[in-house]
Structures are given as C-alpha cells and as structure tokens.
A = this chain, B = another copy of it.
Amino acid sequence: PEPAAGTFRAEARDWLRTHVPAGPQPSVDTAEGFGWHRAWERELAAARLSVVSWPAAYGGRDASLLDWLAFEDEYYAAAAPVRVGQNGIFLLGPTLLRHGSSEQQARLLPPMARADEIWAQAWSEPDAGSDLAAIRARADRADGGWLLSGTKTWSSRAAFADKAFGLFRCDPAADGDPATARHRGLIYLMFSLRADGVTVRPIRQLGGGTGFAEIFLDEVFVPDADVIGEPGDGWRIAMSTAGHERGLSLRSPGRFTAAAERLVGLWRRTTGPAGTPGPAGIADTAGPPGTAGLADTAGLAWTAGLAWTAGLAGAIGAAGTAAADRVADAWIAAQAYRLHTYATAARLAAGGTLGAEASLGKVFWSELDVALHETALELLGPQAEIAGLDGPDGRWLDGYLFALAGPIYAGTNEIQRTVIAERLLGLPR
C-alpha cells in the first residue's frame, strides 16, 4: 500500500536530489553545526517542505498522513540532514494545532516552520526518570503569568535552541485518589531559553555530542499567553501530544528502510550472492609499505578473510556468510515496519485511532534500529569503531549510537511491554 500521491513524492524526491548537501554534514551538537542545520531548515521552509503535514496557513501543505510518510521515505533515502527543529514541528506544533488558541497558532507556528524559533522539550526531571507523572518543577501563580522553578533534564537540542515547552506542577495540593493525583495539577507551558533565570547546562552524550541539556529554572516568568489550554489540564494535553500520530507514535519508516538498503549493499560487498568472498588483499607495493591510504580507500577488503593461519586460508568463508541471516532478518523487519506503518496510516486516514497499539510499534522500531546498525558494524571490520568516518560506511557508528537511545526514550521498552501486556492483552497489573 504505497501512498497514492505519486506527484508529491516525486516532487520531494526531485527537490531533495538537487538540494541535499553532498559533503559531510556537521554535528547538530555544536554551535556551528546547529546554525548549519537551521539554515537547512530554512531552505526546506522556503520550498514549503519543512512542515508538510501542517495547514497551508502556517507554512505547510495539508499533506495527508500517507503523503507525509512518502516525504519521510524520500527524506531518509536522500540521506538528508537530521531535523533540528523536530521537537517543535512534530510535538509542539500538533499540540498547538489541537489545543492552542488561534492567537498562539498565528504567533508561534510560522516562525517554527521557518526555523526562526527552534524548540526544545522540557519533560523529564532528574528524579522522575521514566515516571513522567513524578514531575516536581513548579509553576507558581504570579501577576499576569507564572513563575517557573526547578530542574528539567534530557532536554534534547536545549543547548542551542531558542525556546522550550513542558509540564510544571501548578497545584501541588491537588489530591484525591493517590493513583491519579500525580497526573492532576499540571500545567503545559512554553518559555524562552534566554529568559532571566534560565541556565542551560549541556550534557555530553555517549558519542561525545551534547544533544541533551539540563535546564535550571529560577523564578522564570511566563505570561499567561504562553500557557496551552487550562492550568491543571497539562497532563491530558501532553498525553495527546505524546500519542500524536505524526509525532513519535507513528514513527516514519524512512530511517529504517534506508538503513536496511544500505545494509544489504554492505553485506553484498562482503559476500557474493552464493557466498563468494568479496575483494581481498592489497596489491603488492615496492618499498616500505604504509597503511594510510588504505584507511580511506580499500575499506571493506579487510573484512573478507581472517586467514592468519596458513593452514586454514583456503577454507575460509566470507565474513558476510556469517551474518547472512541477520541481514535477511533486518531487511525483513524494516519491510514489516514500513508495511505496518502504511497500513496504520490508512486506518487512521479512514478515521481510526491509535491507542496502546503505538507501544507495539515503539518496541519494534527501536529494537530493529539497534539490530540493523549492530549487524552493519559486525560486518564492517576495523573501520567500525572510527568516529566521524567519511563516506557512507561512516554513518553506521553514529547511527548505532543514536539507535541505542531508542529503547530508552519516549517510554522505555520495559514500560511499553507492560502497557502492551496490561492494556492490549488484558493481563493483571
């Protein structure tokens, strides 16, 4: 079930082919790299491709879900840059479209679409972990607005973003049934990361980048105009964002199908169709040898054999042989995720809703993403560990580190499995 609208898909593909920068893409986790990505977002916006599923009035194209998926397919297949504005575009944007006032929509959505304002999320807290309802950062009533105090963490993009949005406790006394009390008394707020009282401390990630930050808030004033919905209603509004089909719940398969295709290509280079070894060995050279040139050119030749011992040399199979079924399974899983997502999109387009089923997808894509990249690194040989390697093989390590976060964020996979068991299968709490 491919999206019908071949025209839009074709337009996107053509535009991306001519516009995606050819060279290496800088990290989004440095000031320069962030600026580079902001410029790319502006280029997308100028082509009205930055927020395709939004209403035309705010810079979008009113694209259907299927068209949005087609765009994502093409975006990943073109190896286009990571979306630095995605917190705003996929999380806050849909929330404003659903729960924001028309004043808020008109004021905030266009600069978001143009990347004039890039948003960070401010959900988690140091002691809340996966337990989002354990929020302690406070919003205290002040004249014409609220004063924010507390600490937010794991705030992606916050190191360089302009603004942030998140939940705060506005009514600490909310009580009643203790099982649900924690979910009441929360307020959904937006604030500037440059406001007085805001301190941002970047957090270094596993791979060395600073994609996360901690946000310290000390009586930061937020006007009433920047509250979404009613005070006390924040939990409900946030949950509707978390479940938004164009956000995290219906994650586009583009990343996975593009990576699966690259994995097949990598595997093909390390093994022939019937298991014939790939190119091996290095041409004889006269004079003292050096390995400098090899690092960037010969690449995969080194993974083909490990014939250190003469007696075994003749019998050694290609490395690719010993990962063939993992490659097959990764491709099949990426295919399954793509087909499942399109089927879900078709169902949603026909008026269906997405509830706890989203948990099935979360676990599946996050495990798939890790397995795909792990298999590639197992095939890659001595270059696998090099950070920031140029060329297509250089993307596997970064992709792997990125994938490792998948089973943790947006509700750990343990939590998701419990949701599946209790809410979909009906097992007792």
Contact = CB atoms under 8 A, between A and B. Distances in A.
Contacts of A179: none
Contacts of A273: 315-317
Interface string A290-324: 00000000000000000000000001111001111
Given A324-B324, A326-B325, A275 B318 contact: yes
B317 A275 contact: yes
Contacts of A315: 273-274
A271 interface: yes
Contacts of A324: 317, 321-322, 324-325
- Which of A274, A315, A317, A323 has the most chain B CB atoms inside 10 A of its CB? A274
A328 B322 contact: yes
A418 interface: no
A271 B325 CA distance: 14
Contact of A275 (B275, B325, B326): B275
A318 B273 CA distance: 9
A353 interface: no
A221 to B, nearest CB: 44
Nearest to A329: B322
Contacts of A272: 275
Q: Classify the interface of chain A: helix, strand, loop or mixed.
A: mixed
Nearest to A378: B325
> Which of A323, A325, A326 gathers the greatest number of chain B CB atoms within 10 Å?
A325
A323 B325 contact: yes
Copies per complex? 2
A276 interface: yes
Interface residues of A, number: 18
A178 B277 CA distance: 65
A179 to B, nearest CB: 24
A324 B328 CA distance: 13
Contacts of A277: 274
Contact of A317 (B274, B316, B322, B323): B274
A274 B325 contact: no
A273 B314 CA distance: 9
Contacts of A328: 322
A317 B315 CA distance: 18
A317 B324 CA distance: 10
Contacts of A326: 325
Contacts of A318: 274-275
Contacts of A274: 275-277, 315-318, 321
Contacts of A323: 325
A372 to B, nearest CB: 16
A322 B322 contact: no
Most chain B beta-carbon contacts within 10 A, residue among A271, A272, A275, A317: A275
Contacts of A271: 275
A326 to B, nearest CB: 7
A150 B259 CA distance: 61
A263 to B, nearest CB: 15
Interface in A265-291: 271-277
Interface of A: 271-277, 315-318, 321-326, 328
The 5 closest A-B pairs by CB, nearest first: A275-B275, A273-B315, A322-B325, A321-B324, A274-B317
29 contacts: A271-B275, A272-B275, A273-B315, A273-B316, A273-B317, A274-B275, A274-B276, A274-B277, A274-B315, A274-B316, A274-B317, A274-B318, A274-B321, A275-B275, A275-B276, A275-B317, A275-B318, A275-B321, A317-B324, A321-B321, A321-B324, A322-B324, A322-B325, A322-B328, A323-B325, A324-B324, A324-B325, A325-B325, A325-B326
Given A274-B277, A275-B276, A322-B328, 13 more contacts: A272-B275, A273-B315, A273-B317, A274-B315, A274-B318, A275-B317, A275-B321, A321-B324, A322-B324, A322-B325, A324-B325, A325-B325, A325-B326
